[in-house]
A and B are shown apart, each in its own frame.
Chain A
Amino acid sequence: MLHYIGRRIMQLIPVLLGMTFIVFLIIRAIPGDPAQVILGQQASEEAIKALRTTLGLDNPWYIQYFDYLKGLLTGDLGESLRTRTPVVDEVWPYLAATIELSVFAIIIAVIIGINAGIISAWFQNSWFDYLAMIIALIGVSMPIFWLGLMNQWIFSIELGVLPTTGRENVRDPVDVITNFYVIDTLITGQFDQLATVLKHLILPGTALATIPMAIIARMTRSSMLEVMRSDYVRTARAKGLKMFWVVYKHALKNAIIPVLTIIGLQMGLLLGGAILTETIFGWPGIGRYIYEAIGFRDYPVIQSGILIVAFIFVMINLFVDLLYGLVDPRIKYD
């Protein structure tokens, strides 16, 4: 097991290294000069030149790349060209905001998606099955932008029950400790704030959960249908076991593995792909952080931001792979 983990982590190195290289090349291939963007339209030619020198943008790209790698080895993710703050120091609040939102979304997606999938498979071709699969189809093809604005319209403006944007009530701000506001409010024991924070999570969380939820439901259904036809399920039913236990205990255990993979992938995608949701709901997450950095040609932020997201992505997948063993003891790692 430990050997397996070790090997998997070793495999990460070339993956991440290759990724830094590709990202590095792409962002330098797009035109646009960070010095010009930082100093604005008013800047003089000399000012831009001077800034390019201070930022090390004068060096050939491969020297810049090796400088960057050298920094990475010492844990230095570079310094934002725009705010002049080390990425390591400023990235955490954004990352935490996105993780909190993604975890909330994936919980919704998993609870509803898996159950909908199971029930659809259990009562295949019933009205529930059709309805659930139609909703799932709509879900996968849902434009998040439209959905988000509509939800704001219905739940915030018309019904007035949920806030439109942001993470907290700014009139009663959360004392930041970990930057996970749910945890912070629990630590400080501010339960009314906790309720507010959870309410702020609902609209962006459900918008973000829509697509993974649909995908998980469809995956669970097809995987369950396959298992339900197997011999051991028939045996379980033949010996008179209650259908509920057959489905949720026996069948689910074998059907869940491909679903786990999907969940892992979706969770990774949520972390990096929440830009739209973060924009509509004014969520100060890492997607927006990186996206805005692209507009400013803030190379270190783009590079290191993507690196961090990619790192988490592969770690989640490693974690999911390890989870298989727990769910299915027949799977061995060596």
Chain B
Amino acid sequence: MRKKKLVSLAFLMLLLLATALYGCSSDNASDNTEGDSGDSGDSGEPKVLIFGRGGDSVSLDPIAVTDGESYKVTKNIFDTLVNFGEQDTEIHPGLATEWEAAEDGLTYTFTLEEGVKFHDGTDFNAEAVVANFERWAAGNADQFPYYGSMFGGFGDEEGHVIESVTATGDYAVEFKLKRPQAPFLKNLAMSSFGIASPTAFEAAGDKFGDAPVGTGPFKFVEWKRNDSITIEKNADYWVEGEPKLDQVVFRSIPDNSARLNALLSGEIDLADGITPSDGATVEGDDKLQLFERPSMNVGYLGLTTTREPFDDPKVRQAMNHAIDKQAIVDAFFEGRGEIAKNPMPPVISGYNDSIEDYDYNPEKAKELLAEAGLPDGFEMELYAMPVPRPYMPDGQKVAEAIQKNLADVGVTAKIVSFEWATYLEKAANGEADAFLLGWTGDNGDADNFLYVLLDQDNIGSNNYTYYKNQELHDILIEAQTEVDEDKRNDLYGKAQEIIHEDAPWVPLAHSTPLLAGGKNVVNFKAHPTGSDKLSTVDLE
């Protein structure tokens, strides 16, 4: 009797469960389209590309932000006056068809593309360009951070490089600079300086980032915060035949493994932030392809030069000899990167390839330590990055490898780690003996690495090692205004020699960030700056 009731009860529960599940998955057929519709390249079906990435954008007004996730989207909504190359940072025409720089580097005249319209239907012309620069110059570091850091300030400020921007014709704009700025064109190509519709930003005020209007290949449609951003084809795009896609959806999926799962199940077509260890999985899957982003970064071990014993260059050189970089690149970058010997990657013009790297040589390191009066080594704290970054996929493990290398030369390193914002603050305060960190370039210019990371002007911000060298400072400042490319490269070559000799860092690696996509994604070219223009990408 009892048994019978148990059976009937179990049956009842099963029924209940089945009903519930049925309700949830009633029409399998209609829903399976979710994974597959991207595959159909028929002209009837809209081509929708879904791009999975780690985080959401902060704002879609490119001048108001500094984060890469915002630029990934704005790059496709806005155009810049000049463009970077497909996979490099050479300067190509953008909204400006041609330009002329005066001999003294103080005047630039741009000729603009005619017949271009903003997404709101207003005309793009010289007035619009002037209005954009006026808006930025009237702002402050809090509103438009990159304008200030790239052009030296705002309005009447002493450091502000741009003296005036004037429309000299309907489609001609003249920039007058207070002093020559070597990376001026490269700065203009940065995603931050996308030209926006003056009508739209005047009407929207500081809400412009919620409904951006540019001239780019895609128009803004919808933003569901922390979830997805949808942009659709700009049918009147001024570049013939572009864009190929009808719609692009940027989805934020914070977890790396979950993002890869979403790609494997076909819910997304492209995935950013593939870890080196997942690279092999992607390559082994015949439905997927792996994309390599050309490296424009550096991962390094910084040695705080104001703290003992790292105030002695010999000790810093000893560290360079003690660490087996090749082993680190092989093990933790899975070979997807190259050993760094300079503070900037080889793709950047001015890279000094004649520098001979410190070889991995523990004996030499011990000798140098002995010369520095530390024959028995010393104790130190080693900061390990708590978050993965393209330039440092696993800070903890790299730190452990370094710890082992240092133990071999008698140095006892204690690994410590903090939550990311705390980590950066402590390092910026000079509280770390040695710390792992890195940098991804903004505009592909040597100044953006050497001056920003190692000049005495940037102690307290990005010069975390407190490294100070007057000779280097003079060279870097000179290079900023040197418009002759060869002379400028010579200056940077010299700068790298000084840095090599003083060794404030142990440069570790220039990594190759990875992306993955379905086999049906064609023409996707990952850009070294991290923001990819999707106007030529297509789905087959």
Q: Is B truly associated with A?
A: yes
Across-interface contacts of A37 in B (CB, < 8 A)? 421, 424
Quick check: A42 and B146 within 8 Å, CB to CB? yes
Give the residue among A42, A111, A153, A201 with the most B Cβ atoms within 10 A: A42
Contact bitstring A16-57, B, C-beta under 8 A = 1, else 0: 000000000000001111001101111111110011001000
Quick check: A165 and B5 within 8 Å, CB to CB? no
Q: Does B267 contact A (CB under 8 A)?
A: yes
Q: Does A161 contact B (CB under 8 A)?
A: yes
Q: Does B501 contact A (CB under 8 A)?
A: no
Chain B's nearest CB lies how many Å from the CB of A252? 14
CA A7 – CA B149 in complex, angstroms? 56
Across-interface contacts of A148 in B (CB, < 8 A)? 258
Chain A's nearest CB lies how many Å from the CB of B32? 7
Quick check: A44 and B224 within 8 Å, CB to CB? no
Across-interface contacts of B421 in A (CB, < 8 A)? 31-33, 36-37, 295-297
Q: How many residues of A contact B (CB 8 A)?
A: 71
Q: Does A187 contact B (CB under 8 A)?
A: no
Contact bitstring A157-186, B, C-beta under 8 A = 1, else 0: 100111111110111010010000000000
Q: Does A280 contact B (CB under 8 A)?
A: yes
A133-141, A219-227, A282-290, A324-332 - the one binding chain B: A282-290
Chain B's nearest CB lies how many Å from the CB of A236? 16
Q: Known: A31-B422, A32-B422, A192-B27. Contact between A167 and B227, CB under 8 A?
A: yes
Which residue of the partner chain, among A82, A111, A244, contacts B58 with CB atoms under 8 Å? A82
Quick check: A244 and B9 within 8 Å, CB to CB? yes
CA A161 – CA B262 in complex, angstroms? 13
Across-interface contacts of B522 in A (CB, < 8 A)? none
Q: Does A317 contact B (CB under 8 A)?
A: no
Quick check: B422 and A173 within 8 Å, CB to CB? no
Chain B's nearest CB lies how many Å from the CB of A332? 35
Q: Does A72 contact B (CB under 8 A)?
A: no
- Name B1-28 residues within 8 Å CB distance of A: 2, 5-6, 9-10, 13, 16-17, 20, 23-28
Quick check: A149 and B261 within 8 Å, CB to CB? yes
Q: Does A3 contact B (CB under 8 A)?
A: no
Which residue of the partner chain, among A119, A162, A282, contacts B258 with CB atoms under 8 Å? A282
Q: Does A261 contact B (CB under 8 A)?
A: no
Q: Known: A160-B35, A165-B262. Contact between A282 and B255, CB under 8 A?
A: yes
Quick check: B261 and A199 within 8 Å, CB to CB? no
CA A150 – CA B424 in complex, angstroms? 34
Chain A's nearest CB lies how many Å from the CB of B255? 5
Q: Does A273 contact B (CB under 8 A)?
A: no
Quick check: B226 and A295 within 8 Å, CB to CB? no
Q: Does B461 contact A (CB under 8 A)?
A: yes
Q: Does B388 contact A (CB under 8 A)?
A: no
Quick check: A47 and B142 within 8 Å, CB to CB? yes
| Total number of residue pairs linking A and B with CB closer than 8 Å | 205
Quick check: B148 and A157 within 8 Å, CB to CB? no
Quick check: A288 and B30 within 8 Å, CB to CB? no
CA A196 – CA B29 in complex, angstroms? 11
Q: Give B64's nearest chain A residue, CB to CB.
A: A84
CA A202 – CA B84 in complex, angstroms? 44
CA A44 – CA B150 in complex, angstroms? 11
Q: Does A76 contact B (CB under 8 A)?
A: no
Q: Give A119's nearest chain B residue, CB to CB.
A: B9
Q: Does B89 contact A (CB under 8 A)?
A: no
Chain A's nearest CB lies how many Å from the CB of B161? 14
Quick check: B261 and A31 within 8 Å, CB to CB? no
Quick check: B462 and A41 within 8 Å, CB to CB? yes
Quick check: A43 and B227 within 8 Å, CB to CB? no
Besides A164-B267, A195-B26, A289-B226, 19 new A-B residue pairs in contact (Cβ under 8 A), listed by A number: A32-B425, A39-B145, A40-B66, A42-B146, A84-B206, A156-B261, A164-B265, A165-B259, A166-B228, A169-B34, A171-B37, A171-B38, A173-B222, A192-B30, A199-B25, A284-B224, A284-B226, A288-B226, A295-B421
A-B contact pairs, 21 of them (CB 8 A): A36-B428, A39-B145, A42-B462, A43-B66, A43-B141, A43-B145, A45-B461, A47-B142, A94-B225, A111-B20, A123-B2, A162-B25, A165-B259, A167-B227, A171-B33, A192-B27, A195-B31, A198-B23, A201-B24, A281-B258, A288-B254
